[in-house]
Amino acid sequence: MAEPNYSKFRLQSSSATTVVSLSLVLFMLGLVGLIVLNTKKIADHFKETIGFQLILTDAARDADISKLQKTMDAESFIKSTRFISKEDAARSLQQDLGEDFVSFIGYNPLKSSIDVRLRADYATPDSLIWIEKQLLQNKIVKEVLYPKALVSSMNENMRKLALFILSFSAILMVIALALINNTIRLSIYSKRFIIKTMQLVGATQGFIRLPFILKGIRQGIYGALVAIVLLIGLLYFAQKQMPELIVVQDVQLLAALFTIVIVLGIAIGAISTSLAVRKYLRSRTSELYY
């Protein structure tokens, strides 16, 4: 009775090891996928925090300002605008300085302005130069201010980051697939004599492969579900630590990622198992002892 129980334990242990290995690999792939899929959204989020300021002339009337703001809001490259009167600008500066500079110098030297936030696709040096030229044609716009060096630096850093993430993802994918393939091969290795025995008594290759492949698919699904739970837990923890991450989350994007994880789990389980079984189907009996 001890031998069958020991064999059953080894079988269960082998299956559990395969599922755990699959879960960890799929978790890593899912994590990389999450980073890759969100890279553009994160980049866009930061780009849209950079805007520019329109300094208006003293001759600008309320009607002219309202017309300009409505025209800008209608443009596809503008995300939002906010008018700041010279009085509001003075109050804000007084709070920052901690003293009433208007009373000290006798007048308010600040100008009315419009804060503008661009769509991410237009937050590039070339687009900003073009937009600046267009806005300066309006007679009530005196000056356009924006951080030129910061915009250039951010776009360059985003390109480098995207290239690094894609390269790292490709390397990790190859390593992960190799590791899980070896794990499944070791699991099938313990059943090599059963495979060869079934072949010798006349079972077809398809008949022999089917139960192993179905088991590989089940293990892939279990591994994917565990990986998804880990990813959800990681996202929950990350949002607790950094609440601003909620801004870049997309339910449809996450659903697509989790679907890909499940499909990858099924594909890896089925293909790796099929290849491992085929190896022993093609092996000679004498080779099984090595």
Residue 2 has what pLDDT?
A: 43
Number of domains the chain contains: 2
Whole-prediction pTM value? 0.59
Same domain, 34 and 165: yes
Residue 225 has what pLDDT?
A: 93
Q: Compute the distance between CA of residue 152 and CA of residue 105 in angstroms, rounded to an integer.
A: 38
- Given a contact cutoff of 8 angstroms between Cβ atoms, the answer to whether 115 and 82 are in contact is yes
Same domain, 164 and 227: yes
Residue 198 has what pLDDT?
A: 76
pLDDT band at 6; cut points 50, 70, 90: very low
The larger pLDDT score, comparing residue 3 to residue 135, is at 135
Q: Per mean pLDDT, which of 11-15, 65-69, 160-164, 198-202 is the most reliable? A: 65-69
Same domain, 34 and 82: no
In a domain, 151, yes or no: no
DSSP secondary structure, 131-167, as one string: HHHHHHTSTTEEEEE--HHHHHHHHHHHHHHHHHHHH
Residue 147 has what pLDDT?
A: 77
Q: What is the percentage of the chain residues whose pLDDT exceeds 90?
A: 4
pLDDT 10s digits, 44-91: 777 777 778 888 888 888 888 889 889 888 888 888 888 888 888 878
Same domain, 107 and 207: no
Residue 34 has what pLDDT?
A: 78
Q: By mean pLDDT, which of 7-16, 71-80, 118-127 is the weakest?
A: 7-16
Same domain, 182 and 240: yes
- The per-residue pLDDT of the chain, averaged, comes to 78
In a domain, 235, yes or no: yes
Residue 9 has what pLDDT?
A: 46
For position 133, which CATH number holds? 3.30.70.3040
Same domain, 197 and 138: no
Same domain, 37 and 63: no
Q: What is the percentage of the chain residues whose pLDDT exceeds 70?
A: 86
pLDDT 10s digits, 140-174: 888 888 877 777 777 778 778 778 877 877 787 77
Same domain, 64 and 206: no
In a domain, 69, yes or no: yes
Same domain, 60 and 142: yes
What tokens appear for 59 in the block?
């001759």
In a domain, 38, yes or no: yes
Domain holding 281, by residue range, is: 2-45+158-289
In a domain, 152, yes or no: no
pLDDT 10s digits, 16-43: 777 887 888 888 888 877 777 777 777 7
Same domain, 93 and 177: no
Same domain, 167 and 281: yes
In a domain, 170, yes or no: yes
